Structure 1
Amino acid sequence: MMLRIRSRDGLERVKVDNPRATVAQLKELIQTQLQIPTFNQTLSTNQNLLLAKTPTDLLKFSDMSDPNTPLSALKLSHGSIVFLSYEGERQIRGGPAVSPAGSFGRKMTMDDLIAKQMRVSRQENPHCESVSFDRDCANVFQYYVNETLAFAVKRGGFMYGVVTEEGKVEVNFIYEPPQQGTGEELLLMRNPEEEKLVEAIALSLGMRRIGFIFTQSVVQEKKDYTMSNREVLQAAELHAESGLKEWVTALVKLEVNEDGAADVHFEAFQMSDMCIRLFKEGWFQTNIDKDCDPKLSKMKKEVVVGVKDVREVDNDFFMVVVKILDHQGPLTTTFPVENRITQVTMRALKSHLDRAKSLPFVKRISDFHLLLVLARYLDLNTDIPTLGECVQTQSTLPEGYQLLIQSMAETAA
């Protein structure tokens, strides 16, 4: 069988011929095939191993610490992923030594010299400590994709929230722009006027755009990558556009659990500094043929990976794992979400207010998606800041605004 080994260097493969192989034998194979000494290996089936920063952290990953444990007992089979942590440097297999002057007999051009400076390696640490999702907004996003779209097509949204002084990213609502998704691609049909309203609401709530979230379809489920080359391009473009070093890219997908049922799974990453630099400077090939390997990103010019000059880079080199947490944010997420199959009308406003009539009025409107509907009819410079401040502080809404919003709801009914 073939096992996939994911380390800071990206995704590599190790061939295991013995069906009764143990952890110790796997380590020997890794030493032989990947040139990493057995004593320097920490293995686990838990991807959080790649976040471990100290020897103490590594000790927490003990599922593969017993050298006599059979791989079959760990439910590892052909195509399974094993995560590997090691210290020091190594020469990537298949990579001959390359002198700074380039290949023998070849003159160095200016492009060659620039390429030598573009050394793509694994970025060890993200610029944010973690990303925490408001439970309700994350659930509303995945539930729609799961129950309505059945993960048959891709869907995406912009995450809004705050970045704390400690560098922690907190996601409090998700805005879903107009879009069209297929099993392989996601086209965001950006609406500048609507996004202007979204930004005004976020500002009034003391929040900002802090990331991009998207789903992978069941069409992609068995593909040999974490993010495809198209997804890397889209994530890099939005990250570069943001100008925010703590920007987070999150993906949602279905994974088969031990009982054979499908679970919804969230993962979070930052695109590496080198990835963003390469994108900004136009190194990526943006025209992707159907025959291209989706786990590899093509470059217009050669870059250095390990000791090799290449024009194709494993997408994993561009991704930095971010720890995921959850929290209960300040907003509710019970109002219908924009730009979905069912169009949101003002009738939804009356239904929402009636359902929540036992709550204080400010609590009834403490929902981003509701505020987005109101923003289409209110003044961005006066009304939205007033509503946002009341929602942010949970203070009593001025009576005039209460009457106005109720009137809008009654008129629509």
Structure 2
Amino acid sequence: MSKQAIKQPLAGNNTANVVTIRARGKDGTFRFDLKPNDTIDTVANEISKQTGVPPHTIKVSLDPKLLEKSPLSNKNTITQCGIKRGDMLHFAYDPTLKSKQDVQEEERKRAVQEEMGEGDDLSSLGLRHRKKNWTLAEYMKLREEVTIRIKHQKFGVCTTVSVDNQSANAFQLFLREMAMTAQRMAFLYGTFEKSSPPQDEEAENEKTTEEYVIENDEYEAAIANVAFEPKQRGTAESFHQIEDANINDRADTLASLLGMRRVGWIFSHDGSRDYPLCGEEIIKAAEYQSKYGPAFVTITVFPNEEGQLEFQAFQVSKQCVEMYEKGLLRVDPDNAEVMKTTKPVQVERKETQEIDSLLLICNVAIKNYTSKLQVGFPIRNRPSSDHVQNMTKLKQVLLARKNQKFVQRVSDFHMLLFLTEFLSLNSDFPPLCDAILRQDNDGAQNFEPLINGYAGLD
């Protein structure tokens, strides 16, 4: 995508009091003329005009390394932030949002794909886009280049995933409560951190040409703080998510205000299978990695031979995601251990339209850790009267945590999600979530009378 430099002057500015800054992000570099007393909110609004994403989702920083952990405060002015004429700001926002530039790029790629085709035959190779005159040797070389050879990817882009102990326990306890009679899924909210490339214990000369090597990729480690269970219907063999845009959007917004994004998903199965992911699960994992980022991780929970619930983490390969994006993958209704392809591919130098699912899956190391967010308030969308969310439950949980500071008492994602029905996501939650992020009890106590009032603790 070509970078843009767009100047947006503000009417009535005196040039002597103008601070000209640039803001750089994945959509390009934008240039703005601002006043010294303009706030970072103003910068976000100007970026929003260019990208089309909501301004409250935009984070700004002078240092790109601090974008996620310590962005500039939206209420501070240009002067307070030490921003001078000519400075380069950096911005980012929830990667699940599509900007104007993303939409334009998708339309361009779609148009090229329609013209070029899938490369199955001479008419669909887009030859006239590549060269005017062709020889048979050149054409055969091109066909060789576009042939898809299935290669195993030894390591995923996600090197490790650390899962909050309380969230993992709450998920598995509910599975036991249901006696594993229905599959269950949840989205994981958290953060990504840069990670070192995995260390390959095999010597270089032992690697085969059938191994899919990731070149020049930034490896990441996922940290999962929260498990959000969307509305769903589960059976012993499968689960189906029921769309509920209102609460799903609120959960995404709340997570964003708490400095989190979707980093993975988790689901259960009965443990009777001999393969890590079935065809439908591979398709869904590829869809999520395409939508939420290459380090998005898949976690399964199942009873092992001793009857203990076991957690395993995976990713599908980058090649799998690429084939999914091109519409080349299909589920085999008769064999859950293989994937069908819509055109021939090469597996171990043989042409076929079936791929062993193990060739598309990478193992990811999984770790335990403890988040600052608590789990104790009933979890939404669970089909049980014991998990109903109401003010009585709010009162009970707050009283059970009476010996904690107020900021700790409300550091509960599921409680906060319940409170989005009563407090404003636009005006109340940004300062409340900021206080929770910084564990600022004084800031959180500004909301104590209001929340206690709703809970009947006056």
| Common fold by TM > 0.5 | yes
Change (3 A) 1:132 1:252: same
Out of 274, 294, 310, which is 2:352 matched to? 310
User: Who is 1:152 aligned against?
Assistant: 181
Distance 1:267 1:155 in 2: 15
TM-score (norm 2): 0.61
Counterpart amino acid of 1:119?
R
SS at match of 1:302: strand
Kindly report which structure 2 residues correspond to 1:157-172, keeping only aligned pairs within 5 A, or say none.
157-166=186-195, 167-172=220-225
| Larger relative contact order, structure 1 or 2 (CA cutoff 8 Å, min sep 6) | 1
2:344–2:352 contact (8 Å) kept in structure 1: yes
CA distance in 2, matches of 1:199, 1:367: 15
Answering whether residue 156 of structure 2 is matched by residue 126 of structure 1, we say yes
State the match for 1:234 in structure 2. 284
Aligned to 1:319: 361
Give 4+ residue runs of structure 1 displaced > 2 Å after superposition.
Answer: 107-117, 221-224, 397-400
Find out whether 1:246 has 2:284 as its counterpart: no
Letter aligned with residue 132 of structure 1: S
Equivalent of 1:405 in 438, 443, 451:
451
Instruction: For residue 153 of structure 1, report the CA deviation from its aligned partner.
Output: 1.5
Q: Which amino acid aligns with 2:233?
A: Q
Distance in 1, matches of 2:123 and 2:352, equals 16
1-side partners of 2:287 and 2:403: how far apart? 45
User: Which among 123, 126, 135 is matched to residue 165 of structure 2?
Assistant: 135
Shift of 1:386: 1.3
Pairwise CA distance, 1:336: 0.9
Shift of 1:323: 0.8
Deviations 1:40-62 (A, max 9, x none): xxxxxxxxxxxxxxxxxxxxxxx
Deviation at 1:119, TM superposition (A): 1.6
Cα shift at 1:346: 2.4
Whole-angstrom distance in 2 between the partners of 1:377 and 1:169: 32
Q: Is 1:179 the equivalent of 2:232?
A: yes
Residue identity in the other structure for 1:386: P
Shift of 1:400: 4.0
Paired with 1:114 and 1:374, the residues of 2 have a C-alpha distance of: 58
Change (3 A) 1:109 1:172: same
1:340-376 deviation per Cα after TM superposition (whole angstroms, max 9, x unaligned):
0133222211111111112111111101000100112
Q: Secondary structure, in 3 states, of the residue corresponding to 2:419?
A: helix
- Quote the offset at 1:234 in angstroms: 1.9
Q: 1:385 to 1:114 in 2, by over 3 A?
A: farther
Q: Residues 346 and 303 from structure 1, CA distance in 2 versus in 1: closer, same or farther, beyond 3 angstroms?
A: farther
Contact map agreement 1:115 1:301 (CA 8 A) in 2: no
SS in structure 1 opposite 2:375? coil
Match of 2:87 in 1: none
Does the Cα contact within 8 Å between 1:116 and 1:303 map onto a contact in 2? no
| Alpha carbons 2:156, 2:315 under 8 Å: kept | yes
Deviation at 1:252, TM superposition (A): 0.7
Contact 1:152–1:183 (Cα < 8 Å) also in 2: yes
Structure 2 vs 1, CA of residues 114 and 184 (structure 1 numbering), >3 Å: closer, same or farther? farther
The separation in 2 between residues aligned to 1:294 and 1:170, in whole angstroms, is 30
Could you tell me which runs of 5 or more consecutive residues in structure 2 were left unpaired when the two chains were aligned.
1-120, 126-139, 196-219
- Structure 2 distance, partners of 1:398, 1:248, is 33
Instruction: Choose from 394, 399, 424 the match for 1:379.
Output: 424
Post-superposition CA distance 1:47-98 (Å, at most 9, x none): xxxxxxxxxxxxxxxxxxxxxxxxxxxxxxxxxxxxxxxxxxxxxxxxxxxx
3-state secondary structure, aligned to 1:129: strand
Q: Which residue of 2 aligns with 1:12?
A: none
**1:272 maps to which residue?**
317
2: CA distance, partners of 1:115 / 1:165: 33
Cα distance in 2 for partners of 1:225, 1:404 equals 51
1:291-335 CA distance string (max 9 Å, x none): x11111112222211111111111111111111111111111111
Q: 2:279 touches 2:338 (CA, 8 Å); kept in 1?
A: yes
Which residue does the alignment assign to 2:268?
215
User: Alpha-carbon deviations, 1:95-118, whole Å to 9, x = none?
Assistant: xxxxxxxxxxxx977589499522
The verdict on how the C-alpha distance between 1:265 and 1:114 changes in structure 2, with shifts beyond 3 A counting, is farther
**Which letter maps to 1:300?**
T
1:238, distance to aligned residue in structure 2 (A)? 2.1
Q: Secondary structure at the match of 1:212?
A: strand
Flag the 1:398–1:262 CA change in 2: closer, same or farther, 3 A. closer
More divergent stretch after superposition (154-163 vs 373-382): 373-382
Paired residue type of 2:399:
D
Q: Between the two proteins, what is the percent identity of the paired residues? A: 29
Question: How do 1:319-338 residues align onto structure 2 when only pairs under 5 Å count?
Answer: 319-338=361-380
Q: CA deviation at 1:190?
A: 2.7
The letter of the residue matching 1:153 is A
1:177-199 per-residue CA deviation (whole Å, 9 max, x = no partner) reads 00111122221113221122112
Deviations 1:262-293 (A, max 9, x none): 1111111111101111111111225x53xx11
Q: Secondary structure at the match of 1:226?
A: coil
CA shift, 1:223, in A, is: 2.6
Q: What residue in structure 1 maps to residue 399 of structure 2?
A: 354
Amino acid at match of 2:231: P
One-letter code aligned to 1:249: T
Cα drift, residue 380 of structure 1: 1.4
Residues 137 and 398 of structure 1, relative CA distance in 2, 3 Å threshold: closer
Q: Secondary structure at the match of 1:300?
A: strand
SS in 2 for 1:159: strand
Q: 2:256 aligns with which of 203, 209, 212?
A: 203
**For the residues of structure 2 that align with 1:350 and 1:222, how far apart are their CA atoms?**
42
TM-score, normalised via structure 1 length: 0.67
Pairs aligned (count): 295
